[in-house]
Every structure is written in C-alpha cells, then in structure tokens.
Amino acid sequence: MNTQKISFDYSAPKTLLIKLSGDWRISAGFPEAGQVVGQFDLHKEVTRLEFEASRLEKWDSGFMSFLFHLSRECEHRSIFFNRRGLPDGVRKLLDIALKVADAETVLPRPSESLLERIGGKAIEVTGGIRFLLDFLGEIAVGFWRMLRGKSYFRRDEFFYILQACSVGALPLVSLISILVGVILAFIGAIQLQLFGAQIFIADIVGIAMVRVMGAVMAGILMAGRTGASFAAELGIMQVNEEIDALKTLGISPVEFLVIPRLLALVVMMPLLTLYADFMGILGGFVVSAGVLGLNPTEYWNHTQSAVKISNLWVGLIHGFVFGIIIAVAGCLRGIGCGRSAAAVGEATTSAVVEAVTWIVIATAIITFICQVLGV
Amino acid sequence: MEKKLLPVIEARELSLNYDDYMVMRGLNFRVNKGDIFIVMGGSGCGKSTLLKALIGLKEPDAGKVLYGGKDFWADLVLQNQIMRGIGVLYQSGALWSSFTLGENVALPLQLYSNLSGSQIREIVELKLALVGLSGYADFYPAQISGGMRKRAGLARAIALDPEIIFFDEPSAGLDPVSARLLDELILQIRDVLGATIVVVTHELPSIFAVGNNSIFLDAEAKTMIAEGNPKDLLTHSSDPRVVRFLTRGER
C-alpha cells in the first residue's frame, strides 16, 4: 500500500522526480526514506531531487520526518534538494526544522585514537584520585576543627542522621542476619552430620557471624541504604545550589554535611555489627535447636566457648572501617555530583558500587592482617 | 561591628574557562557603591559563570576580581573575610531543605555574630517580615511556593546586612506580578540597606526596572560588548546585537 504513495521518474537528465500521492499521515503509514536512498545508490548519476505533490492528499509530521531525512541525505551526497514541488506549509516547516537543527547541532568532536582515549582515561583517573585525596584532607581538617570547637556542628541534624542510620535499618539488618545465620547452620549441618559433629554448627555460626559475616552483611545493607541516601541527598543539594549557598557563606560543606554523616555511621556501624552478630547467632540457634534437634543449652555453651573476645574485636573493627567507607563513598559522590537529575542517579549508583567493592577489599585486607598477626 | 571592606567590585582582564572551553575573556568593568549593576546577555553567554567568579565559586583562569581594591582570589583568608560582606540569592533560592525558613536565615547570624538566641530570633523575624514572609519562620522550604522560596532566600542573603548582594536570575520561574514585586524588593533593599546590588538576568522588564548600570555579554564574541545604563543602551547603542537583545529582536 505504501509503495503506491511514491513513484520515481527519471525522465529529466540527472534528476530524480519523486511523485507523491495519497495520505502521508503517521496513522496511515508511509514509505521509508530508505527507499529513495536506495534509488540514489542505484542511480549514481542523480544530482538533483525534485518533487511532484499534486496528488498528495494529507500529511503530518510523518511526512516531514521523511523529507527531513531525505534532505540530510541529499546534503551528505551533494544532491540538490529542490523543495519547489512541495506544498507551502511543508516548505515552511522544513525551513524551520533545518534552521533549528543547524543552530543547535553540536560540532562533532574529532575521533580519538586508542592512545588518546587511554591518555584521557588516565587523566580522568588521576583527577579522581586527587579529588578523593582533597576530600579526605578536608575531612581531616574538619575533624580537627570540630575537636577544637571551631566548626559549626548541628546537634539536632546529627541525631537525626544517627537515628536514620540506626533504628531505621534494624528491620532489614535483622531479617538478613537471621537468614545468614540459618544458611550457615544448614550448610554446616550437611558436612558435620557426616562426622556426627553437628554441635560444631554453633562454632561455625558463632565465629563466622561475629568475626566477619555480621559486619559484612550490615555493611552491604548500609551501603545500599544509607550510603545511597547520603549520595542522593547531597547530590540534590548540589543540584539545588544549596552547597553553593554554604560555600558563599564561608561554611565548608565537608564540615557542615559530611562530618555529621561520617560520625553517625562510624558510631552506628560497630553497634549494627553487634546487633547483626546476635541476630545471625539467633538464626543458627533456631535452626539447630528447632530443625536439626540439637540441645539448646549445649548449643549456647558451644557458642560461648567458641567465640573469643578477639573475634568480637575483629568484627567491630570491620564495622568501624565499613562505616568510614560507606560514609566517605556516599558523601564523596554526593558532593562531587553534577547538576542534573541523571547525575544524582549516577552519584547514587557509584556510591553503592564503590562502597560494596571497598567493603570486600577491606575485608580481605583485614583478614590477611589478622592471619599475619595470628588473631 | 568589624570593619568591612569597601564594597566596590572591579574586574580586570578576567578570563573564564571550563577545561579547554573558553567561556569569557578580557572582561573589564567596575561596580560602584550603590549601583544596581546588571549582568545581561543571551542564554549560554557566561553570565552565571561570571557570577561564580565574583562570589568565590570558580577561580578565574586569568585576570583579577578586586573587592575594594583587594585581589579576591589571591588570598583565601581575605576571600573569606570579603564573602562575609556579601549575600547571594540563587536562582532556585537554594534554601537548605532540612532547615526551617527561620533556621535558614538564622544560620549566618549564628556563625558570624555573638548575638543571643533571642536577638537572633528577633532579627530573623525582621528579615522575614522585610521580604513579606512574616509568620513563616517555622515552615520548611518544601511547604512554600517558588516565589516565597526566593524571598526567603533573599531574607537569608540579607541576614548579615551585606554591603553587596548578588541576584542570580531573580525573576526566573516567577509569574509577572511576583517578578515585579521582587524587582521592587531589590530597589527597597538598595535604598534601605544602602547595598550595592549585582543582578544576573536576561529578563528585560527587570533590567529596565532596576538597573542603573550594566554590562552586556555576548556568547559569540566571548566577552562584554557594551557597558552602561540599560535604558541608555536601548536608545543610544549602535551595536545591533545589543539593540536586538534589548528590543526582543524586534529592531
């Protein structure tokens, strides 16, 4: 049906005359501009494109897009695009569309070689590292000024953040930690049943939760919950010029916005770690006593004897370090956020990805150090 | 009261870039005490970038910004000192969203004065009343309209009775009546506080209503192409780009 709307006439030398007919509205459908481009490929001698539209009935922006595409193609192939045969309205619209396109078109960047792209990436990474170091330096200065009572510290704001990253996170931390305890208990049971040593499930669950898993689970949850929230909150403040307003008042955004958040997470993460440890042990206990039929008292005694105070310290150190990582990643991305909604989304994603990555890296480093120290 | 610096701004051969992209070059102008100085030009000509250089948010790539004859970007301590004598009303109002309007206006006073809590509350009420927001001290920015947010931003900008106030696109996003009221407020603040005012805008009614001196930035020339009273520029400028802008392209 569409092919009946267009026909090609080559009677004039070096000229393609397109005869248009019928309804060219989007709702009625129309031929693709590619058909005409195909004619250009078949008839390389064509240097002029003309139109005959006496039988054209109705048209809308569908027809305009067809012509717009053809016009660009003609420009690209140095073919003269003669608008004379088109209806007046179409000619005017085409003038506007092509004019706006010329004015708004961004000049294409020259293509970069592989070496240039590697160099560009290296400069970008160096800039990122410098930004991180500046940020950490500002945090250090901010803490020093806070300790000397010279920075502006809003207690209400601090307690609000403290509450948001503690009580608010408990339901999620509870659920995940209990389930991790349950999973550890089941996995342990499968192997230990072979040796009739199921009671050692208490040791596995207790040590794993207290030493690493409680902190890691709490850390990952807080990275997704609070780290993302920090990045989005500060990012939106950046978009709304609220951070600029702080700077022009001579207030350091790091002192005003970052230090309270960092402090809140550094205080809360070890506590959340303890809570996650307890919930994980509880999960393992419920499975062992309720499903695997172990003696609850014996299980509890085994847990107590297996979990040393050193394990607890290792877990708390994990929590403390994760608190710093999550707060720094969230605030760094928030403060460095661009000035658009998309930039806030990118900042939030980066904050979570970086925090989780660094949590895993930090866990590996702490585990290695503990191994070397024999802790 | 500590002695404040002379509130006169001067730009000398100022150049501003974003990475390799040059925004403006060779800017030379002077803002005199008591002026309502307009920085005008079409979209994308660098008005907001220039504002950033004047209020400490973007360091110039060349040239100098002088406040009372002192180089604003040469010394951070001096820069901080100067910045305490300026107020800024941002395009969006830029109120801190977790603070009430009262807390927004109070913060500069808490930071830079030794006033008691009750004195600060009184000043906050006064500043809010000056911008027509009496009784709104306990409202959060999200609870008020865009025009009210701008006025609250202005109350914060004048909290410390600054000698220079910068306005970034004050009429943007406001209905014509609110825009006119804000223009009147700008004139009143200049008269009442004796402040020097710099307005970055491309809104013609505001430009003619409040400005007594101006510069015109041009995106293609990448510098200022006219300077003077906006009304004089309208009648006497021989530069077609300036006339075209000031007549909305009608001449």
Q: What is the pLDDT of residues B211-229, one digit of tens each?
A: 999 999 998 889 999 999 9
Protein fold of A2-104: Transcription Regulator spoIIAA (3.30.750)
Calculate mean pLDDT across residues A294-320.
93
pLDDT at A156 over 90: no
User: In which band, very low, low, confident or very high, does the pLDDT at A106 lie, cut at 50, 70 and 90?
Assistant: very low
Please give the tally of structural domains in chain B: 1
pLDDT digits (tens, 9 = 90+) for A329-344: 999 999 999 888 899 9
For residue A301, is pLDDT > 70?
Answer: yes
Distance to chain B for A114, nearest Cα, Å: 21
pLDDT mean over A239-244: 93
Q: Which residue of A has its CA nearest to B96?
A: A242
Q: How confident is the model at residue B44 (pLDDT cuts 50, 70, 90)?
A: confident
> Is A269 or A153 the better-scoring residue by pLDDT?
A269
160-219 in A: which are within 8 Å (CB) of B?
160
pLDDT at residue B90, rounded to an integer: 92
Q: What is the CA radius of gyration of chain A?
A: 34
Q: How many angstroms away from the CA of B104 is the closest CA of chain A?
A: 11
Q: Which residues of A are less than 8 Å from B80 in CB distance?
A: 250
- Judged by CB atoms closer than 8 Å, whether chains meet at A249 and B107 is answered as yes
- The percentage of residues in chain A with a pLDDT greater than 70, rounded to a whole number, is 96
Q: Do B97 and A237 touch (CB under 8 A)?
A: yes
- Of B56, B95, B107, which is closest to A247 when you measure between CB atoms? B56
Are B94 and A244 inside 8 Å of each other by CB? yes
Residue A356 — φ and ψ, nearest 5°?
-65, -45
| Spatial distance between the Cα atoms of B83 and B77, rounded to a whole number of angstroms | 10
Q: A160 to chain B: which residues are within 8 Å by CB? A: 98
Closest CA of chain A from B238, distance in Å: 25
CATH number at residue B186: 3.40.50.300
Given this model, what pLDDT does residue B40 score? 94
Q: What is the pLDDT of residue A105?
A: 42
Q: Looking at chain A, which residue has its C-alpha nearest residue B159?
A: A249
**pLDDT tens-digit profile of A10-53?**
988 899 999 999 988 888 888 888 888 888 888 988 999 999 99
- B57 and A CB contact within 8 Å: yes
Helix H or strand E segment including B21: strand B21-31
pLDDT band at A108 (very low <50, low <70, confident <90, very high): low
Q: Residue A134: pLDDT band by 50, 70, 90 thresholds? A: very high
What average pLDDT score do residues A90-116 get? 67
B222-226: long-range pairs with CB below 8 Å, 24+: B222/B22, B222/B23, B222/B24, B222/B25, B222/B46, B223/B24, B223/B25, B223/B26, B223/B27, B224/B27, B224/B28, B224/B29
* Nearest partner of B89 among B170, B163, B191, B196, judged by Cα: B170
CB distance from A138 to chain B under 8 Å? no
Residue A4 confidence (pLDDT): 78
Q: Are A60 and A26 in contact (CB under 8 A)?
A: yes
Q: Residue B81 class from Cβ within 10 Å (0-12 exposed, 13-18 middle, 19+ buried)?
A: middle
Contacts of B152 in chain A (CB under 8 A): none
Closest alpha carbon within chain B to A250: B80
pLDDT at A363: 96
Containing H/E element for B142? Answer: none
* Domain assignment of residue B251, yes or no: no
Cβ separation B96–A241 shorter than 8 A: no
Model confidence over B143-168: pLDDT tens digits?
998 889 999 999 999 998 898 999 99
Edge to edge, what strands does the sheet with A48-59 contain?
Answer: A6-9, A15-24, A48-59, A80-81
Q: Helix A259-286 and helix A296-306: axis angle, to 10°? A: 140
Q: Residue B218's pLDDT is what?
A: 92
Q: Tally the C-alpha atoms within 13 A of residue A312's C-alpha that lie toward its C-beta.
A: 12
- Chain A 235-254, CB below 8 Å of chain B: which residues? 236-237, 240-242, 244-251
**Sorting pLDDT into bands at 50, 70 and 90, what band is B43?**
confident
**What is the tens place of the pLDDT at every residue in A196-238?**
888 899 999 999 999 999 999 999 999 999 999 999 999 999 9
CA distance B18 to chain A (A): 14
**Residues on chain B touching A247 (C-beta within 8 angstroms):** 56-57
What is the number of alpha carbons within 13 Å of residue A185 lying toward its C-beta? 27
For residue B181, give how far its alpha carbon lies from the nearest alpha carbon of chain A (Å). 23
Nearest chain B residue (CA) to A151:
B111
- Rounded distance between C-alpha atoms, residue A243 and residue A252, angstroms: 9
- The nearest CA of chain A is from the CA of B55 a distance in Å of 6
Q: Look at B94 and A249 and tell me if their CB atoms are within 8 Å.
A: no
CB-closest option in B90, B98, B156 to A244: B90
Report CB contact under 8 Å: B83, A240: no
Q: In whole angstroms, what is the distance from residue B249 CA to residue B242 CA?
A: 10
Residue A247: which of B57, B92, B107 has the nearest Cβ?
B57
Note down the domain range covering B146: 9-246
> In this complex, which of B88, B91, B98 lies closest to A248 when CB atoms are compared?
B88
Instruction: Please give the residue of chain B at the shortest CA–CA distance from A244.
Output: B57
Interface of B with A in 112-141 (CB under 8 A): 112
How far, in Å, CA of A186 to CA of A204, rounded? Answer: 11
Out of B83, B92, B97, name the one closest to residue A248 (CB).
Answer: B83
pLDDT at A190 over 80: yes
The percentage of residues in chain B with a pLDDT greater than 90, rounded to a whole number, is: 54
Domain coordinates in residue numbering, chain A: 2-104, 110-151, 153-373
How do residues B87-135 score in pLDDT, each as one tens digit? Answer: 999 988 899 998 999 999 999 998 888 889 899 999 999 989 988 898 8
Residue B2 lies in a domain: no
Q: Which residue of B has its CA nearest to A158?
A: B98
Mean of per-residue pLDDT scores for chain A: 89
Q: Give how far A289 is from chain B: nearest CA, Å.
A: 48
Are B84 and A250 in contact (CB < 8 Å)? yes
Mean pLDDT comparison of A120-129, A244-253, A349-358, highest-scoring range: A349-358
- Cβ-defined contact of A249 to B111 (cutoff 8 Å): yes
Of A157, A160, A245, the CB nearest to B94: A245
Interchain proximity B107–A245, CB inside 8 Å:
no
Which of B83, B94, B98 lies at the smallest CB-CB distance from A250? B83
Strand B36-41 with B21-31, pairing? unpaired
B238 inside domain: yes
- The pLDDT value recorded for residue B3 is 45
Q: Tell me what the mean pLDDT of segment A59-77 comes to.
A: 87
Nearest residue of A to residue B168, measured between CA atoms: A241
Over 60: is that where the pLDDT of A82 sits?
yes
Mutate to test the interface with A, among B98, B113, B120, B164 (most CBs of A within 10 A): B98
Contacts of B112 in chain A (CB under 8 A): 250
User: Residue A110's pLDDT is what?
Assistant: 62
Residues in chain A closer than 8 A to B111 (CB atoms): 152, 249-251
Residue A327's alpha-carbon distances to A168, A271, A344, A357, B213, in angstroms, are 16, 16, 16, 14, 47
Q: Is B4 a residue whose pLDDT tops 60?
A: no
Residue A99 pLDDT: 66
